[in-house]
């Protein structure tokens, strides 16, 4: 009985009898045992012969015979193409054509399909996890409930800020000898990683541990599920925002917002073991030294020029500070940034991405070294974060440090620093407004040009501007404050407070109809609105039944009369480096 007849007899679709062989990556015909046959033999049909009297092969047919044979077999309906393939003879040409096309994937390619990268060494490694390992890796990640300090979940469509905290807690094998063995785990190394909305650039801003700050009150989750508010502290080191008085990473996130105005969405915390295990997993990280180093305190001993470090030696490299510059924390930060750039290049290099064993080791090491907030606590979400980071070209990943000055209160021997009031706000504003610190090709240049064009043209007189004001995320009372300012200071008398908006907005917007463009340009001029804030649309009816524009104050609103025009360029005079450049520690 042929394959097609057997398929019908057992009620099996012959297409289902083609099975993928995992060893070869190709489909093979596997016939299941047929049903028991009748013991009474049926009449035998003589084999057809050609004109010479020789038996004819099954795939040979005399002219005009095909239709007659089909009729003799019961006037069957011609089978579908898929079934016909299952019954055709396996000639060298026919067999190859009958098989379904299969793209064979090596194990390396399967793992590579899930590979991701980014600036921060922990986050970069997450994308190395293969899909089949996600459930296994899930149990490696430690999560902390920070309450309202962070976001719940991760969006692939927005810019995002992740605070990376390197704690000096001495837990783990071989870490007892580093510094203070009794440390509660302070925020020793801190990097606020901002990834732009269009993924063309990212900024990794280091925050000095010795920066003098005011730490706000911090609600923290306790082991029993209750919440305890830890009182804030004024004029203390930034590193005390973690560990001191029982503060959790949520306290560090709140301190970042207090100092910079930037809201971290999530945090990732690592300890000493992370540097050791991750550098070992990738087979070492290349570093460059401008001079030889023999540091007795950190036990770092390296010659001048290129070296490769991993494990204990890598930890010593990022921990030492007496061998760089003026032996302070600021010079150590620069070395750490250079190290992170080198580690990122190693993780995205061909010898790492093409080695599935190395990738899986990296995923194991990374997930075991992590403590994250519950908002990104699943490996699947962490993978999504890493994949978004991988979209950013290394040449457009900038490393900067919060601009600081020596603390005059320290006297002659400066041990702490303060925020530079002239330069730091410019850096903070650039990050808040998604401005790149590198020259990048904007994906939406046409849109930018269109936004700029909205501000060009004639403007109405202030007395002709008719607008309804809504609060869509600004501080309470902002709509009334803006109304008072517009009417009493700017002469926009045809304005009114329309209460709260139906939804909260991150950015202030002004919606207007085409015939209100001149009014929109005038209000934009008065308020310092950028072209991106102007939204062509339709007018609404105000309380007097007249058409009016709609001004919705978003979270970016800074107060009546304060310009909302975002900076278009990064500030000048900021010391920075990029992840694609090799620099020698000095």
Domain limits, the chain: 1-37+71-104, 111-435, 446-553
Out of 45-49, 125-129, 414-418, the most confident range is: 414-418
CATH of domain 111-435: 3.40.630.190
> How much is the pLDDT for 354?
72
Confidence bin at 366 (pLDDT 50/70/90): confident
> How much is the pLDDT for 289?
92
Question: How do residues 80-90 score in pLDDT, each as one tens digit?
Answer: 444 444 444 44
Question: How do residues 413-435 score in pLDDT, each as one tens digit?
Answer: 668 999 999 999 999 989 988 88
Lowest average pLDDT, out of 200-209, 402-411, 434-443, 513-522, goes to 434-443
And the tokens for 87? 């019954």
Lowest average pLDDT, out of 136-140, 263-267, 289-293, 398-402, goes to 136-140
And the tokens for 571? 């500030």
Q: CB 539: neighbour CB atoms within 10 A? A: 19
Q: Tell which phi-psi region holds residue 74, choosing left (phi > 0), alpha (psi between -120 and 50) or beta.
A: left
Confidence bin at 326 (pLDDT 50/70/90): confident
Average pLDDT of the segment spanning 347-353: 73
> How much is the pLDDT for 446?
53
Confidence check: pLDDT of 217 > 80: yes
Within the chain, what is the greatest distance between any pair of CA atoms?
A: 115
Cβ(199)–Cβ(388) below 8 Å = yes
Confidence bin at 565 (pLDDT 50/70/90): confident
Confidence check: pLDDT of 97 > 70: no
Burial of 524 (0-12, 13-18, 19+ CB in 10 A): buried
And the tokens for 20? 């993928």
Pick the more confident residue, 280 or 99.
280
The length of the chain in residues reads 586
Lowest average pLDDT, out of 68-72, 90-94, 200-204, 348-352, goes to 68-72
Pick the more confident residue, 299 or 49.
299
In 375-414, at which residue ranges do the beta strands (DSSP E only) sit? 397-401, 404-406
**Strands 397-401, 202-206: parallel, antiparallel or unpaired by DSSP?**
parallel
Confidence check: pLDDT of 406 > 70: yes
> How much is the pLDDT for 488?
96
Average pLDDT of the segment spanning 313-330: 86
pTM of the full structure? 0.65
In the chain, pLDDT over 70 holds for what percent of residues? 71
> How much is the pLDDT for 531?
84
Confidence check: pLDDT of 61 > 80: no
**Phi, psi dihedral angles at 494 (to 5 degrees):** -90, 55
Q: Which residues are within 8 A (CB) of 415 and not within 5 positions of it... i.e. 6 or more apart?
A: 210, 407
Q: Is the dihedral of CA 73, 76, 78, 82 positive or negative?
A: negative
Lowest average pLDDT, out of 97-111, 151-165, 329-343, 558-572, goes to 97-111
Confidence check: pLDDT of 29 > 70: no
Structurally, at CATH architecture level, domain 446-553 sits in 2-Layer Sandwich (3.30)
Average pLDDT of the segment spanning 553-570: 83
In 111-200, at which residue ranges do the beta strands (DSSP E only) sit? 142-144, 160-167, 187-195
Confidence bin at 182 (pLDDT 50/70/90): low
Average pLDDT of the segment spanning 488-514: 94
Pick the more confident residue, 26 or 550.
550
> How much is the pLDDT for 9?
42
How far, in Å, CA of 257 to CA of 218, rounded?
Answer: 12
Instruction: Please enumerate, as own/partner, the contacts of 401-409 that have beta carbons within 8 Å and a separation of 24 or more.
Output: 401/205, 401/206, 401/207, 401/208, 401/330, 401/333, 401/334, 401/337, 401/575, 402/205, 402/206, 402/207, 402/208, 402/211, 402/259, 402/260, 402/427, 403/427, 403/574, 404/208, 404/211, 404/330, 407/212
Question: How do residues 460-497 score in pLDDT, each as one tens digit?
Answer: 999 999 999 999 999 999 999 999 999 999 999 999 99
């Amino acid at each position: 009985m042929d394959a097609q007849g057997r398929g019908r007899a057992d009620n099996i679709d012959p297409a289902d009898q083609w099975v993928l062989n995992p060893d070869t990556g190709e489909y093979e015909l596997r016939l299941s045992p047929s049903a028991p046959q009748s013991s009474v033999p049926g009449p035998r049909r003589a084999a057809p012969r050609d004109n010479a009297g020789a038996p004819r092969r099954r795939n040979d047919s005399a002219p005009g015979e095909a239709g007659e044979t089909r009729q003799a077999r019961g006037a069957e309906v011609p089978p579908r193409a898929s079934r016909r393939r299952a019954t055709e003879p396996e000639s060298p040409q026919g067999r190859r054509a009958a098989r379904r096309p299969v793209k064979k994937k090596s194990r390396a390619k399967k793992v590579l399909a899930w590979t991701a990268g980014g600036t921060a060494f922990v986050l970069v490694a997450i994308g190395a996890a293969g899909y089949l390992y996600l459930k296994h890796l899930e149990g490696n990640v430690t999560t902390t409930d920070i309450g309202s300090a962070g976001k719940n979940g991760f969006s692939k469509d927005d810019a995002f800020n992740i605070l990376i905290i390197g704690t000096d807690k001495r837990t783990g094998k071989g870490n007892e000898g580093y510094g203070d063995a009794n440390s509660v785990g302070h925020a020793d190394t801190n990097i606020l990683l901002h990834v732009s909305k269009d993924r063309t650039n990212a900024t990794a801003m280091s925050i000095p541990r010795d920066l003098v700050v005011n730490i706000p009150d911090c609600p923290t989750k306790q082991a029993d599920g209750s919440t305890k508010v830890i009182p804030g502290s004024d004029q203390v080191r930034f590193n005390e925002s973690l560990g001191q008085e029982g503060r959790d990473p949520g306290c560090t996130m709140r301190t970042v917002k207090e100092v910079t105005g930037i809201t971290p969405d999530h945090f990732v915390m690592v300890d000493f073991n992370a540097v050791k295990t991750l550098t070992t997993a990738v087979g070492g990280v290349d570093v460059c030294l401008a001079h030889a180093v023999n540091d007795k305190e950190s036990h770092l001993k390296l010659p001048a020029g290129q070296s490769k470090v991993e494990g204990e030696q890598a930890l010593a490299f990022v921990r030492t500070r007496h061998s760089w510059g003026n032996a302070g924390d600021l010079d150590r930060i620069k070395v750490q940034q250079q190290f992170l750039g080198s580690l990122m290049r190693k993780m995205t290099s061909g010898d790492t991405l093409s080695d599935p064993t190395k990738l899986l080791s990296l995923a194991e090491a990374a997930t075991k070294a992590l403590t994250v907030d519950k908002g990104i606590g699943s490996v699947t979400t962490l993978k999504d974060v890493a994949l978004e980071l991988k979209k950013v070209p290394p040449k457009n990943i900038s490393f900067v440090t919060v601009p600081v000055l020596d603390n005059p209160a320290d006297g002659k021997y400066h041990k702490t620093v303060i925020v530079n009031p002239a330069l730091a706000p410019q850096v903070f504003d650039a990050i808040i407004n998604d401005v790149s610190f590198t020259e990048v090709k904007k994906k939406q240049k046409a849109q930018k040009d269109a936004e700029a064009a909205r501000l060009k043209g004639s403007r109405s007189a202030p007395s002709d501007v008719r607008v309804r004001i809504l609060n869509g995320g600004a501080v309470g009372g902002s709509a009334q404050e803006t109304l008072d300012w517009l009417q009493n200071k700017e002469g926009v008398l045809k304005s009114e407070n329309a209460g709260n908006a139906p939804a909260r907005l991150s950015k202030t917007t002004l919606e207007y109809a085409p015939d209100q463009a001149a009014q929109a340009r005038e209000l934009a001029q008065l308020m310092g609105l950028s072209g991106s804030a102007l939204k062509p649309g339709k007018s609404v009816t105000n309380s007097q039944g007249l058409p009016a524009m709609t001004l919705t104050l978003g979270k970016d609103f800074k107060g009546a009369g304060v310009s909302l025009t975002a900076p278009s360029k990064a500030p000048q005079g900021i010391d920075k480096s990029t992840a694609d450049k090799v620099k020698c520690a000095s």
